[in-house]
Homo-oligomer: A and B are copies of this chain.
Amino acid sequence: MSKTKVGIINVSGYAGIELARLLYQHPQVELTSVTGRSATGQKLGTVFPHLAGIDLTIEAKLGEVDLAFSAMPHQESAKEIIPLLDRGIKVVDISADFRLKDAAEYLSWYGFTHPAPQLLEQAVYGLTELYRSQVASAQLVANPGCYPTGAILALAPVVKAGLIEPDIVIDSKSGVSGAGRTLSQQTHYSEVNEDATAYALDGHRHLPEIIQELKRLHPGQSPSVTFVPHLIPMTRGILTTCYAPLVSGKVADSGKKKLKQLYLDFYQDEPFVKVVELPPHTKHTWGNNLCLIHPTVDQRTGRLIVISCIDNLVKGAAGQAIQNMNLMLGLPETTGLQALAIYP
C-alpha cells in the first residue's frame, strides 16, 4: 500500500524540523518534499545533522503532495497556502494566518490586511480535542499557537461548564525554542541562561486567539483575560498557570474532588490530554504530544488554579499538526505520535 505524500513548506525553523523528525517515524505517510527560505539546494541532513536519516533536498518550491504543512511566518504563509487550496491539496497551517475568525483582528494584531477573509470561516481551528469532527473533514486546518494550546485546554472544562467568573489571569512560562530559530539578543545563550523575564505586556498576539476560543466555549460570555508570557531558561516546554474566581456556590462545597472529576470526564477519551494528581512538570512532556493538566482550588480564596504543561514544539506545534493530519487523512489519531517523553 502506498503511503500518503506530505510536504513541509519552510522546513528550516524549529516547527519545520520538528515536523520532519516526527513524520520520519510515521508509518502511514511519507515526507517527499520540503522547502526552505534559506539553504535551498542543500541536503536536509547537511543543514540539520539529526535529520540525516531523511534523504531529501531542500527545494525552493514544494513538489507534488497530498497534504502540506506550512511553517512559514504569518502573512507569508497565507500566500503559499492559497494556491495549494485551489489545487485541492489539504493543508495544515502552523502559522497564525487562519486561526482568527474575524479578519479585522489581523490588521490590529498582525498589521496586515488578510488576503482571503472568506477562508477564515472555512478553516478549522485545529485544537483537536475541541474540533475533532470538523478537523476530520477539513481541507484547511489552522494549527493553534503554542500558548493558546496550553491555556485553552486548561480552561475549557470550567469555561464550558460555566463554573468560573470571566475574570481570568493566564501566566505562562515558556522555553526559548518558542522564540524560533531566528537570531536575536533575546535568544543569545549568555543573555537567556540564568534569566527569567516577562514580555509582551501590552498584549501578545496569542491573546485574541485565546479569547476567541473561550467565547466559543461559552457563547454569550465575554471573558476579561490578562495573559502574560514569560521566557525562562530551558529549550522546550510551556507551563501555564491559570487563575479565575469560581462561580459562587457551584464548586465550593465539594471542592477539588468535584473539579477534578469534571476534568476527568471532559478529557476521558482523549489520548493526548492527561489530568494528573500532582502539579505537572514540563519535563514529563519533553518530545511528545501530551498535555498534562492539574486543576485545583485555592480554598482560602475560592479561586480556581489550573496548570497545564506541553512541549511547545510538539503539542504546541508539530505534534498537534500531525494529530490533525491523521484525522484529515482518516488515520487513527495517535499514529506516529506514541513515543513517550524523554526523561530526564
Contacts and interface: CB of A to CB of B under 8 A. Distances in A.
Give the interface residue-count category, chain A.
Answer: 35 or more
Interface string A269-311: 0000010101111111111100010001011111101010100
B281 A49 contact: yes
A271 B288 CA distance: 24
Contacts of A274: 52
Contacts of A340: 21, 24-25, 50-51, 53
Contacts of A245: 167
Interface in A122-164: none
Contacts of A305: 201, 226, 228
A154 to B, nearest CB: 12
A202 B232 CA distance: 24
B235 A232 contact: no
Given A48-B343, A194-B235, A199-B279, 19 more contacts: A17-B343, A21-B342, A50-B340, A51-B340, A167-B245, A167-B301, A173-B232, A181-B188, A188-B188, A193-B193, A194-B194, A195-B234, A197-B239, A198-B279, A201-B305, A203-B300, A226-B298, A235-B344, A287-B342
